[in-house]
């Protein structure tokens, strides 16, 4: 029973994270002057480039979140990968929007937790 609840939680969190990332991507593509531009940042890309990265990750996250609503195995595995990529992308864009990036990292981390904690009945896990 709780496993179904965690999968639903992960699906909603991934959908929310995806929609927010889509909005962030649109902001970066349409009006990149919204973000703070930093000089001498190691992972420096154009803000429009960051916008495209977030837009694509957000769109894939929404698709995977919809797949999680049907509780498919491919969506669980892909959800963990997409959430991890969202964490990495938001970590790399911390200087541009620090608060927003931290919120997105937290949402994606909760998604990974919810997807990894669910086990089938009688599953012993990795170590017994």
CA dist., res. 90 & res. 34, Å (int): 16
Write down the pTM of the prediction.
0.75
CA distances from 100 to 17, 49, 97, 119 (A): 11, 18, 6, 32
What is the reported pLDDT for 55? 92
CA dist., res. 92 & res. 70, Å (int): 32
Indicate the DSSP class of residue 4: H
Q: Among residues 2, 4, 1, which one has the least CA distance to residue 71? A: 4
Residues 50/80, Cβ–Cβ less than 8 Å: no
Domain positions in the chain: 1-125
What is the reported pLDDT for 68? 86
What is the reported pLDDT for 128? 40
Query: Which residues of the chain have a pLDDT value below 50?
Result: 122-128
The pLDDT tens digits of the residues spanning 78-106 come to 999 999 999 998 888 787 778 888 998 99
What is the reported pLDDT for 92? 84
Report helix, strand or coil for 71: coil
| Residue 65: HSE in the Cβ half-sphere, 13 Å Cα cutoff | 20
């Amino acid at each position: 029973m709780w496993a179904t609840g965690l999968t639903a939680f992960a699906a909603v969190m991934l959908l929310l994270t995806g929609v927010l990332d889509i909005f962030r991507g649109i902001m970066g593509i349409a009006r990149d002057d919204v973000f703070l531009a930093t000089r001498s940042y190691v992972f420096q890309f154009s803000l429009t480039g960051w916008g495209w990265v977030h837009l694509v990750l957000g769109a894939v996250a929404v698709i995977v979140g919809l797949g999680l609503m049907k509780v498919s195995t491919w969506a669980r595995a892909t959800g963990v990968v997409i959430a991890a990529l969202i964490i990495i992308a938001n970590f790399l864009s911390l200087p541009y929007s620090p608060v927003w990036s931290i919120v997105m990292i937290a949402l994606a981390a909760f998604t990974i937790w919810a997807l990894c904690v669910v086990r089938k009945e009688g599953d012993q896990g990795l170590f017994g």
